[in-house]
Amino acid sequence: VLQAQTRAREAQTLGFKKLILPASNKKGLEKLLGIRVVGVRNLEEALDELF
């Protein structure tokens, strides 16, 4: 995800409580934002988080 930090901050501003994004983009975001950040390696993991 390009500009993951910028997008994550915008999601936080909009009231999101949890972010699901590629595992490679997760590093440091949870501490920075104070919201739940879930890093996934594939679509199956993302769907498991959603449902």
Q: How many domains does the chain have?
A: 1
Rounded mean pLDDT, 9-29: 90
The Cα-based distances of 23 to 14, 36, 39, 46 in angstroms read: 22, 13, 4, 10
Question: pLDDT of 29-48, one tens digit each?
Answer: 877 777 899 999 999 999 99
Residues of the domain holding 38: 4-50
**Which pLDDT score, from 0 to 100, does residue 21 have?**
93
Q: Please tell me the distance from the alpha carbon of residue 46 to that of residue 39, in angstroms, as a whole number.
A: 8
pLDDT-based confidence at residue 16 (cuts at 50, 70, 90) = very high
Rounded mean pLDDT, 15-26: 92
**Which pLDDT score, from 0 to 100, does residue 35 have?**
86
Q: Is it the case that residue 15 has pLDDT exceeding 90?
A: yes
Q: Please tell me the distance from the alpha carbon of residue 22 to that of residue 12, in angstroms, as a whole number.
A: 17
**Which pLDDT score, from 0 to 100, does residue 31 have?**
77
